[in-house]
Amino acid sequence: MSIQLTESAARRIQQQIDKRGAGLGLRVGVRKSGCSGFAYTMDYADQIGSDDRVFEQFGSKLVVHPDHLPMLEGMTLDFQKQGLNEAFKFVNPNVKAECGCGESFTV
């Protein structure tokens, strides 16, 4: 299994890196948080560690530390625009429940 990027997400990642002027990709992970247990984290990947897993599609890279893989395996990262709102959307088959506010999840 792996982690997938939609073409829309890959384009947005590259736009943000170009705007910033630096970065190798997007680092995605999870942290303990919220009422359901975990929340997604995102940051620029300025370097890739020897243990990191890199998933590349449509010219953009997602970087994931191996500790986070069990909760992210099989996930698809999408970028959606709806009216004035735009955001990355995590489509994660490992999620069993999400909190009402949508900020955290449980696996």
Q: Where are the domains of the chain?
A: 4-106
> What pLDDT digit, counting tens, does each position of 22-80 carry?
999 999 999 887 666 888 899 999 999 999 999 999 999 999 999 999 989 999 999 99
Q: What is the pTM of this model?
A: 0.85
Superfamily of 4-106 according to CATH: HesB-like domain (2.60.300.12)
Instruction: Let me know the angle formed at the C-alpha of 53 by 64 and 86, rounded to the nearest 5 degrees.
Output: 40
Q: Do the Cβ atoms of 72 and 63 come closer than 8 Å? A: no
